[in-house]
Chain A
Amino acid sequence: MNLTPAASTRRARAVFPAVLLLLAALIIVALLVGDVPLSPAEIWAGLCRQDAHAATIIWDLRVPRLLVAMAVGAALSASGLVMQAYFRNSLASPDLLGVSGGGTAGAVIAIGTGWASASLLVLPMMAVLGSLAATGAVLILARRGTGPERLLLAGIALNALLGAVTGYVLTNFTVSYERNAQIIFWMLGGLEDRGWKHVWMAAPIPLAAALLWPLGRPMDLLSLGADEAQSLGVDVRALRRRLLALATVMTALATAVAGTVGFVGLVVPHVLRLLVGPEHRRLVPLALAGGATFVLACDLLGHLAGLRVGIVTALVGGPFFLWLLRRAP
């Protein structure tokens, strides 16, 4: 790219409003499109709760689904961005490192044992526990300063291990066909039948995003080396702890409400970095908005094509990842 600095800054500034505009447009489309055809007038009546039938469809089906899609996208994309800066590795992401897999294993245990039916909090908490365990394992397997190969190999090993845990629960714990089906559907990643209880499960995500927002600048320094960052006045230990906690919790909650939705944390930060450069003060808000936009778009696409959102993100993300590997020096 042969842009003058002024032109590239102008373009970088234009990206955030453009993403917000796209997100707003997708929100409107998501309200308009659904299994039950409604006219714009009916939708308006539903939004204003003047038509009971339309109001149910809008407020109990479409709005929660759209909110969950946005929360999941924002969480996964921001987690990917954080992990890439943390590990100084642009291939790091919650799914490749096994953090999503940890959340899946935790949640599958919660469903398989039946604990999840005890309280609304059990499923997300088990997902968080699973993700925390996976994050801890990645940290131990890939000590700092290790190259990208070691980190990704640690992720592969961890994903295989967590897959075994999930498979064990699936074959040995489950008593009812129904619960098994629930697990499998859930593992494929989907946003069907998401209701307000899922919105509440995902409610800490905006809070985590708000905590992440001001960390963009120190993330810049961290992404060029921990020792360097510390010598420049960043409290690296505190920053790393905070970043990892936020990324893990966001990934876990996204996994708890939507199952396994892959590649978001890899694709979105990469595309945004290509568009606006590596400065995290810009990337953090953009990753949140861009992730929400991406998952919402994938869900709409999947809805129209009859595919679950996890399948759509994998169809988009898989080829993108291969392209990235080819491109990497």
Chain B
Amino acid sequence: MNALELDHATVPGRLTDVSLALPAGTLAGLVGPNGSGKSTLLQIAAGLLPPGGDVQWAARPVADIPMADRGRLAAWVPQEARFEFGFTVRSVVAQGRFAHGDDGHGVDDALAQFDLMALAERPVTRLSGGERQRVLLARALATDAPLQLWDEPLAALDVRHALATLQLARSLTRGGKTLLFSLHDLRVAHCLDLLIVLHEGRRRAIGPPATVLTPALLLEVFGVRASIAPDLMLQLP
């Protein structure tokens, strides 16, 4: 069954006629130059924008799903975390349980997964950009939603936390969840199941990363020449 299905999603001026289907358990990446519609696509997938087409979660049209249930079925992480009020890290992560009646399940686990235990009682207004990003990711994890939609989760993270986040993403999809996230670092793409390339608001390519990321496509979409060379390799110990 498809965890997420977009059918001819269109937002005037931002996204044109994008269709895609993610089978459950897929780790999928969304790439494209700045302004190519990645964030818009994720917002549509999360049911936050009227799609001008059809969006389905696990074969259910999102428009038919009551608001309160949506919080249990899909989690969305915005690109930029901005906090006006000084909630503690723990209380922001606990908001992920709102749709579950604030039962507090899995909050500690989510904090631990994103290395936030030491910061748990600190106000979110006193965190760095990368720390704020991890708080929102932990909140998304705490929802325990089967569909996870993350907008550039790695952009603000240091290399260790980025690798740990990728590893966690992989373990989530192994556990049956489906994850779609946007990214800029194409070197990460090789570890994904599926890659979607957006260009000027349209779906330019979709498929396994190895078949999608051809030198011709990289030149056309991103305007860069690709070559493979021995490089600095970074792994978690």
Binds B, one of A136-144, A220-228, A305-313: A220-228
A34 an interface residue at 8 Å Cβ cutoff? no
A180 an interface residue at 8 Å Cβ cutoff? no
A174 an interface residue at 8 Å Cβ cutoff? no
Per-position binary interface string of chain B over residues 48-80, scored 1 when its CB falls under 8 Å from any chain A CB and 0 otherwise:
100000000000000000011111101110100
Binds B, one of A206-214, A230-238, A319-327: A230-238
Known: A5-B121, A233-B70. A223 touches B98 (CB 8 A): no
B99 an interface residue at 8 Å Cβ cutoff? yes
Q: Do the beta carbons of A279 and B70 come within 8 Å of each other?
A: no
Q: Do the beta carbons of B78 and A225 come within 8 Å of each other?
A: yes
Docked complex: A81-102 residues within 8 A CB-CB of B: 88-90
Known: A89-B84, A220-B87. A234 touches B78 (CB 8 A): no
Residue of A225, A233, A273, A279 near B91 (CB, 8 A) is A279
Q: Do the beta carbons of A217 and B70 come within 8 Å of each other?
A: no
Nearest CB in chain B to that of A238: its residue: B67
A interface: dominant SS: loop
A277 an interface residue at 8 Å Cβ cutoff? yes
A318 an interface residue at 8 Å Cβ cutoff? no
- Number of interface residues, chain B, beta carbon within 8 A: 32
B95 an interface residue at 8 Å Cβ cutoff? yes
A278 an interface residue at 8 Å Cβ cutoff? yes
Q: Do the beta carbons of A224 and B85 come within 8 Å of each other?
A: yes
Q: Do the beta carbons of B48 and A223 come within 8 Å of each other?
A: no
B83 an interface residue at 8 Å Cβ cutoff? yes
Chain B residue contacts of A228, Cβ below 8 A = 76, 78, 136
Bound Cα distance from A278 to B86, whole angstroms:
6
Chain B residue contacts of A278, Cβ below 8 A = 85-87
Docked complex: A268-321 residues within 8 A CB-CB of B: 273, 277-279
B82 an interface residue at 8 Å Cβ cutoff? yes
Nearest CB in chain A to that of B143: its residue: A232
Q: Do the beta carbons of A223 and B84 come within 8 Å of each other?
A: yes
Q: Do the beta carbons of B74 and A235 come within 8 Å of each other?
A: no
Known: A5-B121, A230-B48, A232-B95. A224 touches B70 (CB 8 A): no
B231 an interface residue at 8 Å Cβ cutoff? no
Bound Cα distance from A236 to B98, whole angstroms:
13
Bound Cα distance from A118 to B227, whole angstroms:
84
Chain A residue contacts of B72, Cβ below 8 A = 233
B166 an interface residue at 8 Å Cβ cutoff? no
Q: Do the beta carbons of B98 and A88 come within 8 Å of each other?
A: no
Known: A221-B98, A224-B95. A231 touches B83 (CB 8 A): no
Q: Do the beta carbons of B95 and A227 come within 8 Å of each other?
A: no
| A283 CB to nearest B CB, Å | 10
Bound Cα distance from A88 to B87, whole angstroms:
13
Chain B residue contacts of A217, Cβ below 8 A = 98, 102
Q: Do the beta carbons of B98 and A234 come within 8 Å of each other?
A: yes
B182 an interface residue at 8 Å Cβ cutoff? no
| A37 CB to nearest B CB, Å | 47
Given contact pairs A89-B84, A224-B92, A231-B76, enumerate 16 new A-B contacts (beta carbons under 8 Å): A220-B91, A224-B84, A227-B76, A228-B78, A228-B136, A231-B48, A231-B75, A232-B71, A232-B75, A232-B99, A233-B68, A234-B98, A235-B68, A277-B86, A277-B88, A278-B86
Q: Which residues of A approach B to under 8 Å, CB–CB?
A: 5, 88-90, 217-218, 220-221, 223-225, 227-228, 230-236, 273, 277-279
Q: List 9 A-B pairs, minimum CB-CB distance, nearest first.
A: A233-B71, A233-B99, A278-B85, A231-B76, A235-B67, A232-B71, A88-B84, A5-B121, A232-B98
7 contacts between A and B (CB under 8 A): A89-B84, A220-B87, A223-B84, A228-B76, A232-B71, A232-B98, A234-B67
